[in-house]
Structure 1
Amino acid sequence: MGIDITGYIERLTPYGGNDGDTPSWDSVIALSELYLGRDYDAFGCLFGVANHARFRPVAAERGLPADTSSAVRAIYDRDRGYGAASAFSATWVGWPELRDIDWEEPAEGVDARVTEYVRTETGLRPLGKAAWSRAVADSLGTGFGGSYADRLPREETEWTHGDMVFRTVLMRRRDAIPAGSEWQPVWDVMRALAQVHGDDGVRLVVWFHR
């Protein structure tokens, strides 16, 4: 079962309180209107969820903001009512933090998932990466179902086993969320809202579910 994200972009309005004068946060648009992906590298990079690549998360486990909009809180409470797997790792991140991400920053360790390739007549063909692989286990001699985490190299390296090639990779933030990725519409909307409501008046509130 995979992990998915639910979220909402909020903006701070100066006249949203019950007395008409107190600033308050309002929900503007659901994340699902802008982002339809399930990218664990992005989840880890931004929020520390499924963080196999070992990034220093930008905004992890902050909880739901105490002053989140009533609409967002109602949806979050509804999801929590379905069980712990339906609403976990709630957090939020302001536009200035997203705007100022250093996309060249490396992860704090090599990716825990080994990238696999197979040798062909035309060169190496990538097969992908996973948290556990029978091919990697065989190459490290742990056998089917065995854990090999303690045998993986702690630095970027490459090794072969038959016609397979394996690599451990140190990712950078730009590898997790490239320019023009599925997250670009989210950045564009938040940037546009910040031009009207100020950089500190725009944030993204998220939680995760299985």
Structure 2
Amino acid sequence: MWSGAIDLELLYPGRGYDAFGCLFGVRDYAGFAPLAAERGLPALVSDAVRTEFDAWGATAHSPSWIGWDELKAVDWTEPAVTTDRRIHEYTAVDSGWSLVSKAVWSPRFAAVAGLPVEPVAGALVGYGGEEWPEGTEWRDGERLYRVERMRRRDVVPAEGEWKPVWSVMEALAAVHGGENVRLTVWFDN
């Protein structure tokens, strides 16, 4: 018998799409092999979870779950399978470079890379399927654009937004066993 312990929104109020991609394969622009994608709801869920999921109706997608025992076994230094589909943009600071953004489209970057500055009408916004080797860089004055491959720890840092979630799961596992603690999720558009 499973019981709902705590609503994820109370512990993790963010929208970390890179983490969602790494953990569950949702909006995986960074190219990770997801840890627990599209598993559906577990066969046995608490009434509270079933009621909440059903209340979301058609807006709920990509339900999945992951157990504490699985999370404890993750190699957080593992790199993504591919380079990030977004170009990482940095600005010069006294100590080096500071990340500004990761974007699927930037007219400024397109100009620096010699690509059309305006996206092609009707096409998905992006760099036209361009794939550059990891580490490829372009400089534009105080800006640096780089193709990067992220690691799991980059998107789910040990001391980051997910720490309260992991702390609660760890505490529950200490009482009930890691195989008896899981995080159940779904997403909206």
TM above 0.5, yes or no, is yes
Q: 1:29 to 1:143 in 2, by over 3 A?
A: same
Query: Which of the residues 148, 156, 162 maps onto 1:183?
Result: 162
Q: 1: distance between equivalents of 2:158 and 2:87?
A: 24
Q: 2: distance between equivalents of 1:181 and 1:46?
A: 15
The 8 Å contact of residues 135 and 148 in structure 2, kept in 1 or not, is answered as yes
Q: Paired residue for 1:169?
A: 148
Q: What is the DSSP-based 3-state SS (H/G/I as helix, E as strand, rest coil) of the residue aligned with 2:83?
A: coil
Q: What is the DSSP-based 3-state SS (H/G/I as helix, E as strand, rest coil) of the residue aligned with 2:6?
A: strand
Q: What is the DSSP-based 3-state SS (H/G/I as helix, E as strand, rest coil) of the residue aligned with 2:3?
A: strand
Give 1 or 2: higher strand fraction: 1
Matched, 1:208 2:181: no
Q: Paired residue for 2:64?
A: 91
Deviates more, 1:112-121 or 1:195-204: 112-121
Q: 2: distance between equivalents of 1:120 and 1:59?
A: 38
Q: What is the DSSP-based 3-state SS (H/G/I as helix, E as strand, rest coil) of the residue aligned with 2:52?
A: helix
The 8 Å contact of residues 108 and 117 in structure 2, kept in 1 or not, is answered as no
- Paired letter, 2:56: D
Deviation at 1:152, TM superposition (A): 3.5
Deviation at 1:77, TM superposition (A): 0.6
Q: 2: distance between equivalents of 1:122 and 1:190?
A: 38
Q: 1:106 to 1:124 in 2, by over 3 A?
A: closer
Q: 2: distance between equivalents of 1:54 and 1:68?
A: 30
Q: So what's the TM-score if we normalise by structure 2?
A: 0.89
Q: Deviations over 1:98-121 (max 9, x none)?
A: 111101100001111101124578
The 8 Å contact of residues 91 and 144 in structure 2, kept in 1 or not, is answered as yes
Q: Deviations over 1:9-59 (max 9, x none)?
A: xxxxxxxxxxxxxxx111111001111111111111101111111011110
Q: 2: distance between equivalents of 1:171 and 1:111?
A: 7
Q: Paired residue for 1:3?
A: none
Q: Paired residue for 1:27?
A: 4
Q: 1: distance between equivalents of 2:181 and 2:96?
A: 47
Give unpaired runs (5+ residues) of structure 2.
121-125
The structure whose Rg is larger is 1
The 8 Å contact of residues 109 and 154 in structure 1, kept in 2 or not, is answered as no
Corresponding pairs, count: 183
Deviation at 1:205, TM superposition (A): 0.4
Matched, 1:116 2:89: yes
Q: Percent identity?
A: 48
The 8 Å contact of residues 56 and 107 in structure 1, kept in 2 or not, is answered as yes
The 8 Å contact of residues 86 and 104 in structure 2, kept in 1 or not, is answered as yes
